């Protein structure tokens, strides 16, 4: 009798598991803004491959690179995830910030002086609050990844002080805070896509741009267009590995654990990759110099001047982000200045 009960229980568990797995989609779509050769995309592909392998094919994630899921309108990515159109994303907080204003925290000008302050904010109460806010949008945050500090390049002149930006036509990401920031320095911000920017560089109608060094400027070989870069650490661009709650709720607890562990692993790998030669040495900058670029580091006095000129932008967007959230981040940052 006891043997029969055990067999019946085993069969019931197998049937329940089979029923759960039957609800899984044949394919889960993962959105990535950039092309497949970027570190950002390599981490996403490795994540997808590991999840497929460790779930024995139950969760079959396919990567859609170059923004193909949102037809080039990258600020729609968070909305598509909340709707379940995209199941996963390795998403930039900048691209998600139009829908979730708290994510503009990382674009507040000159808030983060170094990686240590930035990491502490992510690990602290502000990071926790942001993750909780994403869940209200129907997106489960799995782990942090990173694009990096966004540095300015151009083909006109070295930028050492705010006045050096005056009149420069700078390609920026399509986020309102960046429009405000570059206008505060007297530049002419241009929210255009990358292909349009490259054409502008070649034709002389666009003078510069801002992007992280290792994750973007190396892959696009920015030295083909620009001979000046300014290391100012004005803003930073964390990535979040997220999954639509609609998809997440389909997975068994065991498969959820596999997905989260893979996200944490490849998020950490990607962070380490984009900081190589920057957080540990200046090798990345030496490589830019070897390719003919002039590297300008702003001085502590210049950083104060930039912050002063951007203070109205900071104040405006602090209110938009949420005063309590920004105050909590500022309190952490003060320990690392």
Residue 25 predicted with pLDDT over 60: yes
pLDDT in tens, 220-254: 999 999 999 999 999 999 999 999 999 999 999 99
Query: What integer pLDDT is reported at residue 74 of this predicted model?
Result: 76
Query: What integer pLDDT is reported at residue 3 of this predicted model?
Result: 52
Q: Which residues of 156-170 are buried (b: 16+ CB within 10 A; e: fewer)?
A: eeebeebebbeebbb
DSSP lists the bridge partners of residue 237 as: 148
Which band of pLDDT confidence, cut at 50, 70 and 90, is reported for residue 92?
very high
pLDDT in tens, 157-197: 999 999 999 999 999 998 999 999 999 999 999 999 899 99
Residue 5 predicted with pLDDT over 80: no
Sign (positive or negative) of CA dihedral 123, 129, 132, 137: negative
Q: Would you call 208 helix, strand, or coil by DSSP?
A: strand
Report, as an integer, the average pLDDT of 250-263.
98
Which band of pLDDT confidence, cut at 50, 70 and 90, is reported for residue 310?
very high
Report, as an integer, the average pLDDT of 64-87.
85
Query: What integer pLDDT is reported at residue 12 of this predicted model?
Result: 46
Query: What integer pLDDT is reported at residue 70 of this predicted model?
Result: 79
Q: What is the CATH number of domain 24-336?
A: 3.40.190.170
Alpha-carbon distance 243 to 256, whole Å?
11
Q: Where are the alpha helices (DSSP H) in 55-170?
A: 77-83, 93-96, 115-123, 125-136
Q: What is the average pLDDT score of the chain? A: 93
Report, as an integer, the average pLDDT of 279-283.
93
Closest CA to 170 of 195, 155, 291, 235: 155
Q: Give the CA distances from residue 17 to residues 24, 185, 259, in Å, rounded to whole numbers and listed in that order.
A: 11, 59, 17
Report, as an integer, the average pLDDT of 287-302.
98
pLDDT in tens, 27-64: 999 999 999 999 999 999 999 999 999 999 999 999 99
Query: What integer pLDDT is reported at residue 84 of this predicted model?
Result: 86
Global model pTM greater than 0.95: no
Alpha-carbon distance 255 to 320, whole Å?
37
Query: What integer pLDDT is reported at residue 69 of this predicted model?
Result: 85
Query: What integer pLDDT is reported at residue 72 of this predicted model?
Result: 66
Would you list the domain boundaries of the chain? 24-336
Q: What is the DSSP letter of 214?
A: I
Q: Identify which has the larger pLDDT, 315 or 174.
A: 315
What is the share, in percent, of the chain residues with pLDDT greater than 70?
93
Lowest mean pLDDT among 19-33, 101-115, 140-154, 318-332: 19-33
Query: What integer pLDDT is reported at residue 20 of this predicted model?
Result: 65
DSSP lists the bridge partners of residue 296 as: 230
């Amino acid at each position: 009798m006891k043997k029969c009960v055990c067999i019946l229980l085993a069969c019931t568990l197998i049937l329940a598991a089979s029923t759960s797995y039957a609800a899984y989609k044949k394919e889960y779509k993962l959105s990535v803004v950039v092309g497949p050769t970027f570190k950002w995309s390599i981490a996403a592909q490795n994540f997808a491959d590991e999840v497929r392998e460790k779930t024995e094919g139950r969760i079959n994630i396919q990567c859609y690179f170059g923004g193909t899921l949102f037809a080039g309108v990258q600020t729609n990515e968070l909305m598509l995830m909340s709707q379940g159109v995209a199941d996963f994303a390795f998403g930039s907080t900048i691209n998600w910030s139009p829908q979730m204003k708290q994510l503009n925290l990382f674009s507040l000008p000159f808030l983060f002086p170094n990686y240590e302050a930035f990491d502490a904010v992510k690990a602290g109460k502000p990071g926790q609050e942001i993750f909780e806010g994403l869940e209200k949008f129907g997106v489960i945050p799995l782990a942090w990844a990173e694009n990096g500090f966004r540095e300015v390049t151009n083909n006109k002149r070295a930028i050492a002080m705010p006045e050096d930006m005056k009149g420069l036509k700078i390609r920026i990401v399509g986020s309102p805070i960046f429009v405000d920031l570059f206008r505060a320095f007297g530049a002419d911000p241009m929210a255009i896509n990358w292909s349009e920017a490259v054409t502008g560089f070649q034709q002389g109608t666009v003078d510069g741009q801002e992007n992280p060094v290792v994750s973007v400027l190396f892959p696009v070989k920015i030295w083909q267009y620009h001979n000046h870069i300014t290391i100012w650490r004005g803003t930073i661009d964390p990535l979040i590995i997220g999954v639509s709650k609609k998809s997440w709720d389909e997975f068994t607890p065991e498969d959820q654990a596999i997905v989260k562990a893979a996200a944490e692993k490849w998020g950490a790998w990607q962070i380490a990759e984009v900081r190589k030669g920057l957080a540990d040495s200046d090798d990345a900058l030496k490589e830019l110099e070897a390719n003919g670029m002039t590297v300008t580091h702003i001085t502590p006095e210049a950083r104060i001047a930039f912050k002063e000129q951007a203070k109205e932008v900071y104040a405006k967007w602090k209110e938009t982000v949420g005063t309590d959230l920004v105050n909590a981040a500022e309190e952490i940052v003060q320990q690392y200045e």
